[in-house]
Amino acid sequence: MTGLMIAIPRGALFAGTLGLLDRLGVDTRAVRASDRKLLFPEAGLVTMRPSDVPTYVEAGAADLGITGKDVLMEQSERAVYELADLKYGRCRMVFATAAGRDHAAEALRRLGVVRVATKYPRVAAAHFRRTGRQAEIVEVKGSVELAPLTGLVEGVVDLTATGTTLRENGLTIREEIAESTARLIANPVAHKLKAAAIDALVERIGAL
């Protein structure tokens, strides 16, 4: 992978990303050995939060990046190319409310608007707009499951792999909005100037 700098995500996609890089012949031992170090120039890798990957790729600080489709949906304004669905880290973006009576549906009938807590305000707003419903979006940074339990909102839009956390907090999934998997993205300028290397990498990924 000579000459390419790749931004890779810490967190839920980290293990799957390192596994992919191993299969591509990238030496990930230094990355695995350090929880604190972020930049690994000898391997052509830089690690960061998944939500930061499009920022670095768009700015050209990294030629390529790996992040979740959920991040790309929320940051749809980023000038990056989506090159490949990497097929791991599969999750669902869902709308959930407290189990039992559907307080969100009741709020829509009674008030014409539903309050929704989420870490994905653009995705949530677009979903309710697309389905012809008015929503007041409340952006939260921590555990969104708390918001409906305290009466802050009637429902949440969140990413879930199994739904377990939602169920453990007394929430039930009412709607599925989108599916998310890890995606490979590229800086548009790098995609032109380093086309041969990037095309070769995408071809190798497709052959795995």
Domain with CATH 3.40.190.10 in the chain: 6-89+181-207, 91-178
Please report which helix (H) or strand (E) contains residue 103, including its range: helix 103-111
**Position of tokens 């990238």?**
26
Tell me the C-alpha distance between 93 and 88, whole Å.
Answer: 15
The residue type of 92 is R
Phi, psi (rounded to 5 degrees) for 119: -95, 0
Phi, psi (rounded to 5 degrees) for 52: -90, -15
| pLDDT per residue as tens, the chain (208 positions) | 568 999 999 999 999 999 999 999 999 999 999 888 999 999 999 999 999 999 999 999 999 999 999 999 999 999 999 999 999 999 999 999 999 888 899 999 999 999 999 999 999 999 999 999 999 999 999 889 999 999 999 999 999 999 999 999 999 999 999 999 999 999 999 999 999 999 999 999 999 8
- 6-89+181-207: what fold? D-Maltodextrin-Binding Protein; domain 2 (3.40.190)
What CATH architecture applies to the domain 91-178? 3-Layer(aba) Sandwich (3.40)
